[in-house]
Structure 1
């Protein structure tokens, strides 16, 4: 085991040094069976599908088998990686309240089914919290002191002090409901730290038993074929009452510990951090470029694309993109549009005017969506995420069917031509509109973007065209090395209503044009229809 792992364990908590033999054994076990592929860290052929395990239901087959069929038959194999959203037993939040990190929800299939998926896999590491139905929390509610110490649980007396209440006010979090939830232990009222909901119990990472359980799951994920590891809600993962509990030093130390373990293994593994926060805070999870995440979610790109299309201007997108893609060779972005959580908004903070953000939120509500809010440091509430499908946000009755399709497909596609790895939520491929029935039945705004399907699919002409057009664009991206994550980019300000940039190396250059408006643009020697996307390589238009 590396010296770095030992150092980090000690810096987090000296009790963690007792885990050294366990970690050594797990690393040795994996390394005996694997050989590292010394290839480029990132490839232009990397594209990720984001999907729920039970997205497709097929008679007589497990959900994982149907997912594999969808990727092979519908996506024609152009997507080489699948991010399977939490597939562990769960009680709420569509998977993000895992009962046990180490089990597969039996309704979806088995670990054997997961391993049989014939594509690279990304798993969720939902280490910030766990379900209230988890065996550990159930033991805590029975008064088991060892289990109690695995969570942040306080007596009514502690919770009621003035200092405690003042400390709660310092905590930054992406929700507006109370930070602590009431639970009864041995007949007495206690208060439990619950960042996201009463059912999602925050874990105590400063506890050796909790850390061991988390690392056990992490090694299991590697052994069952995961190659990408998405650490969920990373900014809030380490708690210290009296601080803002956001981006703490030990949060970064924990990320560094996971990275150090990855670096000790003879496998090509990638650590991905999910932090829906302003850009300058988000990029801190690259650490020094080699000691934290390989990949961070690019939360600003998605709402900036929507902003450009809404206001028909490249002004803010160009300025932002000119600055943020100056990154090292060993780190990159996960570029995406909509996700299972909708469209994150914190990435716009400090980039576009507040009034523009209000206009985007107004469009969401006009088009049947909902706006999720967060509580800021000053106590005010601000937009956190847009709960709406991408296609429902962009839908415009003034456009022809062809123009609406072009607008949806090309706005999804454009993100993967920027430096980074392109990721597409499953509904991107179908141009799904809001699932109002799901929202009305559940009362959960995020369900607007989480409809499930029977398989084989029964697609209409519009859905088929969106799927096929997006697949064709991914295939083109895969064929061009200039779209590899580490290739250079320069933004071109050719016309305010056109997003234009070049990807290049010493020998070749591809210029990318996207019309952000509903009118035809004539530029240089190229004509762009409404919402058109075109490519010119070394001066020659790509058909």
Structure 2
């Protein structure tokens, strides 16, 4: 009798994950199914661990496929043309928010994971974009649309779909389940097999998938393989913290969720060693950090505490909480880093402020954002109370003034100060497309859709946008300033996402930190006045190396007197470096 061939390292690792996820099934057979479904040779070499698949030149753009529209053109083609023409020296990664046919939530209620929404374009447009930029796609993995073929099949009792959705007993103890929304958790559904209750973490149009069924895993492996074949290399795992459910628990951040992420990363990076996994987990900071695993889960995690803390810093005039949070943040291991964003298609999440802002400070921030035209979305807490979940507002309007004085003359300076901090912190910066234009709150879109999040999802006619970018408007001023700042940043080794960072003790009115390149050749001090009054400091406080020449990268001003006092105007900042690298 012939002996079975020894298992490869990949097969052994897959079996380990699958035995944990599906202990009652044959892990060997599941492993063969996974490899066959993914088209992966079991002898494929493993990529080296702890590789940084990025450097200081990597900047991400976050956008919907149809944010830019032009008569007679498909939105994806319009977007590609605009980014290639206007942003090729600024952007390396394009995050395309869900571009599939959908039924609600601007794309996050996916009806068909395998096709591009015809109103946006075709797969050819995605592939062409991937030839000029790295493309990140959304893997909306927790739920799909109640109007999808899968859910129609579920109601009819046929596969694929009959066993794909998570059912729960309405009499079970669900009191500990963490909710991001106000709607009831369970939805009653009439099916061929009688009345069922399906789990809906977000809305009743977004029905949660049941990953306890390995058929669901196989479906997503087929979907991921398709995305890889179309040129997508960066994967955003949407709402992944809620993936695994268990009545009687919080049903968030469960161990099997982490196990599933490890399995998906194993498969994806063996198929494409340059692939990147990003987890979208809008949760308190300590929980969010667990998604790095041991550098074997997410390559990048969203720095969800940054948006509320940075906005709070700039409207309150105190960096106390931003500074304290960053001082406690662990440096990311090589091969992992933070995704630094301040605005996105969603609102400013408030759960990530838990344990960081007091209730009084949070109320003050919320009330200020309301004064600047923002809306507040709520969720149901485990005690059944309505709690603020996120602030819905454009970043331009969020930074229009201060807590104490309201809108003021420092609007633009405050906005650019936020960008200056975002670009300089440890991690990879991600800019929502509207932050590059200074787009205002879109109240008409809120009225049209009935959803607060629409306030920051404006649709631009590209001809109108280009007119504004070429005439004296605040849009033009923001766009040119942002492009200039990003280009300076992309050239500096000290801004590598994994370069050393050390927060400086300069009081609460000046926010400052030190970065040093991985080869230790470039040192850079980033100093920000985060108030609406001039602030001074002495260069002696920075311990500048005496043998080096120090220059502000932004203004090219040299600082030769190491004892000089420097005064920063409201929201002015310096990037003081011993070496200046120029963009290639």
TM-score between the two structures when normalised by the length of structure 1: 0.93
C-alpha separation between the residues in 1 aligned to 2:354 and 2:507?
25
State whether residues 27 and 264 of structure 1, in contact with CA within 8 Å, keep that contact through their aligned partners in structure 2.
Answer: no
Partner residue in 2 for 1:219: 225
Q: Identify the structure with bigger relative contact order (alpha carbons < 8 Å, sequence gap 6+).
A: 1
Match of 1:393 among 390, 393, 398: 398
Equivalent residues in 2 for 1:338-349, closer than 5 Å? 338-349=343-354
SS of the residue corresponding to residue 148 of structure 1 reads coil
C-alpha separation between the residues in 1 aligned to 2:432 and 2:43?
36
1:301 aligned to 2:301? no
Partner residue in 1 for 2:448: 441
C-alpha separation between the residues in 2 aligned to 1:537 and 1:257?
42
Partner residue in 2 for 1:533: 573
C-alpha separation between the residues in 2 aligned to 1:215 and 1:373?
34
Give the direction of change, closer, same or farther, for the CA distance of 1:308–1:396 in structure 2 (3 Å limit). Answer: closer
C-alpha separation between the residues in 2 aligned to 1:44 and 1:30?
34
What per-residue deviation string (whole Å, max 9, x for no partner) do you get for residues 21-57 of structure 1? 3432465569999998997432001100000001111
RMSD, matched Cα: 2.6
Match of 1:422 among 429, 440, 452: 429
1:69 aligned to 2:81? yes
Equivalent residues in 2 for 1:43-442, closer than 5 Å? 43-117=55-129, 118-144=132-158, 147-154=161-168, 158-159=169-170, 161=171, 164=172, 167-186=173-192, 188-289=194-295, 291-396=296-401, 403-442=410-449
SS of the residue corresponding to residue 290 of structure 2 reads helix
Give the direction of change, closer, same or farther, for the CA distance of 1:101–1:304 in structure 2 (3 Å limit). Answer: same
C-alpha separation between the residues in 2 aligned to 1:184 and 1:255?
33
C-alpha separation between the residues in 2 aligned to 1:514 and 1:503?
14
C-alpha separation between the residues in 2 aligned to 1:188 and 1:25?
36
What per-residue deviation string (whole Å, max 9, x for no partner) do you get for residues 489-532 of structure 1? 11112242111111014333100111111112222233211111
**Residue 348 of structure 1: CA displacement?**
1.0
What per-residue deviation string (whole Å, max 9, x for no partner) do you get for residues 323-366 of structure 1? 21422112111000011002111111101211000111111222
Which contiguous aligned blocks of 4+ residues in structure 1 show a shift greater than 6 angstroms? 30-39, 397-402, 539-542
State whether residues 16 and 208 of structure 1, in contact with CA within 8 Å, keep that contact through their aligned partners in structure 2.
Answer: no
Give the direction of change, closer, same or farther, for the CA distance of 1:329–1:147 in structure 2 (3 Å limit). Answer: same
1:23 aligned to 2:23? no
**Residue 444 of structure 1: CA displacement?**
0.3
**Residue 230 of structure 1: CA displacement?**
0.5
State whether residues 511 and 535 of structure 1, in contact with CA within 8 Å, keep that contact through their aligned partners in structure 2.
Answer: yes
C-alpha separation between the residues in 1 aligned to 2:98 and 2:581?
42
Give the direction of change, closer, same or farther, for the CA distance of 1:539–1:88 in structure 2 (3 Å limit). Answer: closer
What per-residue deviation string (whole Å, max 9, x for no partner) do you get for residues 392-444 of structure 1? 12213979987311211221331121111000001101111110000011110
State whether residues 31 and 265 of structure 1, in contact with CA within 8 Å, keep that contact through their aligned partners in structure 2.
Answer: no
What per-residue deviation string (whole Å, max 9, x for no partner) do you get for residues 439-491 of structure 1? 01111000000011112323152101101111111111100011001110111
C-alpha separation between the residues in 2 aligned to 1:401 and 1:245?
45
TM-score between the two structures when normalised by the length of structure 2: 0.86
SS of the residue corresponding to residue 386 of structure 1 reads strand
State whether residues 91 and 97 of structure 1, in contact with CA within 8 Å, keep that contact through their aligned partners in structure 2.
Answer: yes
Give the direction of change, closer, same or farther, for the CA distance of 1:370–1:103 in structure 2 (3 Å limit). Answer: same
Give the direction of change, closer, same or farther, for the CA distance of 1:17–1:141 in structure 2 (3 Å limit). Answer: farther
SS of the residue corresponding to residue 124 of structure 1 reads strand
State whether residues 265 and 297 of structure 2, in contact with CA within 8 Å, keep that contact through their aligned partners in structure 1.
Answer: yes
Give the direction of change, closer, same or farther, for the CA distance of 1:400–1:8 in structure 2 (3 Å limit). Answer: closer
1:497 aligned to 2:504? no
**Residue 231 of structure 1: CA displacement?**
0.4
Unmatched runs of 5 consecutive residues or more in structure 2 = 1-9, 539-564
SS of the residue corresponding to residue 91 of structure 1 reads coil
**Residue 85 of structure 1: CA displacement?**
0.2
State whether residues 422 and 429 of structure 2, in contact with CA within 8 Å, keep that contact through their aligned partners in structure 1.
Answer: yes
Give the direction of change, closer, same or farther, for the CA distance of 1:49–1:34 in structure 2 (3 Å limit). Answer: farther
State whether residues 238 and 280 of structure 2, in contact with CA within 8 Å, keep that contact through their aligned partners in structure 1.
Answer: yes
Match of 1:512 among 508, 523, 526: 526
**Residue 125 of structure 1: CA displacement?**
0.6
C-alpha separation between the residues in 1 aligned to 2:581 and 2:138?
41
C-alpha separation between the residues in 2 aligned to 1:105 and 1:92?
13
**Residue 108 of structure 1: CA displacement?**
0.8
Q: After alignment, is 54-63 or 331-340 more displaced?
A: 54-63
Unmatched runs of 5 consecutive residues or more in structure 1 = none
